[in-house]
Amino acid sequence: MVRFLSITLLALALLWSDASPTRAAPTPVARDVAEALAAGAATTGPKSSERIEAELVPMQQWAVPGSTAIIAIRQNIAQGWHTYWRNPGDSGGPTEATWHLPAGYQAGEIIWPLPERQRLQSLMNYGFSDTVYLPVPIEVPASAKVGERVRVRADVLFMVCSDQMCVPDEMSLAVDLTVGEGQPPLDATHGAAIQKIIETAPRPADIAARAAVTDGQLVLTARGGPLGGDALKWAYFYPFVGGVIDHAAVQKVELGQGGLRLTLKPGRALLANGLGAELAGVLSTDQGAWDITAEAGEPFADTTGKVLGDGEEAAEAAPIAAGFWKAALFALVGGLILNLMPCVFPVLAMKAAALSRSAHHPAEARADGLAFLAGVLITFVGLAGLLLALRAGGEAIGWGFQLQSPAMTAGLALLMLAVGLNMSGLFQVGGRLQGIGSGLTAGKGGVAGAFFTGVLAVVVAAPCTAPFMALAIGTALVLPWPLALAVFAMLGLGLALPYVLISFSPRLLSRLPKPGGWMETFRNLLAFPMYGAALWLAWVFAGQTGEALGLLFVAALLVALTLWMLGRYQLLGGKSWLVATLISAALTGPAAVFALKAPPVLAGVTSQENQTLSSQPWSPDAVQAALKEGRPVLVNFTADWCVTCKLNERAALSRAGTAKALQETNTLYLVGDWTSRDAAIAAELERHGRSGVPLYLLYTPGQTEPRILPQLLTEGLVVNALTETRR
């Protein structure tokens, strides 16, 4: 208020002087007031939002007429957020400044420091976190008068992003620059930090470089200047323009007698438009960083040889360690919660039956517990290893991928049916009944049965982990593979831990009833969750293949016939049960083969027969078209095998209140069906830091990024989110 009154009084004084008969030249104070009013009364000092604090700060205490002063845009970025380099990489936008300077003053380009590499899933961004200075040279005119103070102002646009969202923050920053004479000392607060940036920022050097596209790869060779000798340990190339290279791809670096060679994966812009006459960027090494311009031409000879690193390992060691421990903790807790998920319950029913039989045999109970743990851990790590290998080979798949295969879904449905028939007493396998695993071993102790029950638990349970394990799984998929496998092992440990603890707790085991006839009744009762699981898998199979469901039913009928014949020969004491089994298998085989090889339905086509809400299939074009019309967009990425997805659709997305809110807000509802593999959906999940479904995105016109809704929905939550799109 005081500042406002002061400016007002000075402005009135200025008007009064203009109205007087003898008009005097405006005083320096009057000029300052006029400039402040014209610039919207921009004030000096820091400005801030929830994400970033910024200000203009000088490198030296005063500016000298006819010299170059350095003013830096200082950013103090909140934890978990970042801004971007001149080439932001795969997303984001660079910091931009529009300068408002006194007459005769001129601003140059930002002197960009070397950025951090910010990897997220399959994306690579270049930017800054914590505190960063962006120095800008300001040309001071020779006519500047010693002793005067001038206001330097800049309208700065910061694109401030976290792993989940981006927010453009625009601030009007100002600093008063004093004009003095003589060599100015550094500013006491910021001078040394700005000077360090200028001294270490990439700059041109006597380096000759060439670029060429060879065998589908972009080959960049450089020689001369600081690249001589064999002291280099690593190198990395940052292009000035996005899309020229695949920023996230590994850069192969070689050092030969003739210089340095980098083999880069071309980006979409280069593939679409060609290389052009030159390629400019920063060549960063452990010996320094330099601006280079590579002319289009044949690679320099003799640049292959010693393979170097790209420097990312050392730069990311600390963040990787922090990310690993965080992901491992979430995975352990998530594994414990997984025991409560509906898709896991049928397998745990088998463990309950086994536990009831070995409750009063502590040694057997401990062996079963350890075998079950081993089966869970080995399968979790094996599935994770297969996923990482397929993704490294370019496959667009996510966690729970095994249920995207109709063959796997049909096989699991038949397996669950067989387990249920076994628990119902239709046939016997082994002396102890430990689920289907007992059929895989003739061992008397049933340890192998416990192991294979653990295997089955993981195969069926894995898709259920994605909804509440998105953070841990997403982090694991970008960690180095040994740490990624360790995170998945922690997930398995959480799943198996309750059963293992009970197996090693004699006091708890002793409280269970003594073995008796009740055990057979209990085991028969637990067969029904297995039948339910088989029906659920058959339903998933129907969504994947359509009419092939009939073949699966035929295969199920013949599997049941085979197992009944086996049970009859066991009951009658016959010795030729193997012959009967082979005869039944001959009948079962053709139908099973047809069912397992049934073609999937077209990916991305959403069945709407059982949906209350009117929806359209998801596509990026559909989203953009609706946003251009000013319509909000709600996207539901789902799959038939995702139990959480179906619960959300029933509890929230198919409610009357949600339908009304969609209609009132004119929101377009899109469904991305991931029941069968779809590379476009997999890529979109990755872009938002997810490796599985469900994922719910709410786009609002005028906003660059969608809002990610929680993975457990309620009707009220969805209605409120839709209502907020109108504000």
Residue 702 has pLDDT above 60, yes or no: yes
* Single pTM value for the model: 0.46
Which residues lie closer than 8 Å to 86 by C-beta, 6 or more apart? 94, 110, 112, 240
Tell me the Ramachandran region of residue 388: left when phi exceeds 0, alpha when psi lies from -120 to 50, beta otherwise. alpha
- In this predicted structure, the answer to whether residue 222 has a pLDDT above a threshold of 80 is yes
CB contact set of 57 (below 8 Å; sequence gap of 6+): 71, 72, 74, 133, 175, 187, 189, 190, 194
| CATH superfamily to which 45-201 belongs | Thiol:disulfide interchange protein DsbD, N-terminal domain (2.60.40.1250)
Confidence (pLDDT) at 431: 38
The three-class DSSP label of residue 725 is: coil
In angstroms, the CA 151 to CA 101 distance is: 7
pLDDT of residue 192: 94
Distance CA 196, CA 133 (A): 10
Highest mean pLDDT among 70-74, 379-383, 508-512, 546-550: 70-74
Topology alike, domains 45-201 and 204-312: yes
Is the backbone of residue 305 left (phi > 0), alpha (psi -120 to 50) or beta? left
Residue given tokens 């200000």 in the structure block:
55
User: Residue 330 above 60 pLDDT?
Assistant: yes
Place of tokens 């073995």: 515
Say yes or no to pLDDT of 18 above 60. Answer: no
- Measured CA to CA in angstroms, residue 672 lies from 391, 602, 640 at distances of 21, 12, 11
Which tens digit of pLDDT belongs to each residue from 530-542?
Answer: 777 677 777 777 7
Q: Which residue has the higher pLDDT, 232 or 568?
A: 232
The mean pLDDT of 403-408, rounded to a whole number, is 62
Ranking 56-60, 308-312, 493-497 by mean pLDDT, the lowest is 308-312
Q: For residues 437-451, give the mean pLDDT.
A: 52
Task: Give dist(CA 10, CA 7) in Å, integer.
Answer: 5
- Per-residue tokens: 442: 């003739």
The fold for domain 204-312 equals: Immunoglobulin-like (2.60.40)
What confidence category does residue 171 fall into, taking pLDDT thresholds of 50, 70 and 90?
A: very high
pLDDT digits 0-9 by tens, 293-302: 999 999 998 8
The radius of gyration computed from the CA coordinates of the chain, to the nearest angstrom, equals: 34
Cβ atoms of residues 541 and 550 within 8 Å:
no
- Give the Cβ contact number of residue 331 at 10 Å: 28
pLDDT for res 390: 58
- Domain positions in the chain are 2-33, 45-201, 204-312, 320-596, 616-724
Distance of alpha carbon 90 from alpha carbon 303, whole angstroms: 29
Where is mean pLDDT largest: 3-7, 243-247, 307-311, 315-319? 243-247
pLDDT at 218 > cutoff 60: yes
Minimum mean pLDDT among 50-59, 117-126, 416-425, 506-515: which range?
506-515
CA 613 vs CA 601, 635, 650, 670, 694: distances in Å: 22, 12, 11, 10, 17
Instruction: Select the more confidently predicted residue: 598 or 140.
Output: 140
Three-state DSSP class for residue 518: helix
For the chain, give the percent of residues with pLDDT over 90: 27
Class of domain 616-724: alpha beta
The CA distances from residue 45 to 2, 54, 663, in Å, are: 17, 9, 47
How confident is the model at residue 2, as a pLDDT? 36
| 116 or 584: which leads in pLDDT | 116
- The residues facing 160 across adjacent strands are 167
Average pLDDT for the chain:
75
> Which amino acid is residue 524, in one-letter code?
N
3-state secondary structure of 370: helix
pLDDT at 472: 52
Predicted confidence band of residue 245 (pLDDT cuts 50, 70, 90): very high
78/576: higher pLDDT: 78
Whether the pLDDT of residue 155 is over 60: the answer is: yes
Average pLDDT over residues 479-507: 78
Q: What is the pLDDT of residue 480?
A: 66
Q: Which residue has the higher pLDDT, 203 or 646?
A: 203
**Amino acid 221: pLDDT:** 94
Contact 505, 511 (CB under 8 A): no
Q: How far apart are the first and last CA of the chain?
A: 31
Instruction: Say what the pLDDT of residue 464 is.
Output: 54
Q: Is the pLDDT of residue 638 over 80?
A: yes
333 CB-contact burial (10 Å; exposed 0-12 / middle 13-18 / buried 19+)? middle
Query: What pLDDT band is residue 121 in, cutting at 50, 70 and 90?
Result: low
Other CB atoms within a 10 A radius of the CB of residue 579 amount to 12
Q: Which of 15-24, 292-301, 554-563, 628-637 has the lowest mean pLDDT?
A: 15-24
pLDDT exceeds 90 at position 369 = no
What confidence category does residue 726 fall into, taking pLDDT thresholds of 50, 70 and 90? confident
Burial of residue 24 (CB within 10 Å: 0-12, 13-18, 19+) is: exposed
Highest mean pLDDT among 269-273, 452-456, 475-479: 269-273
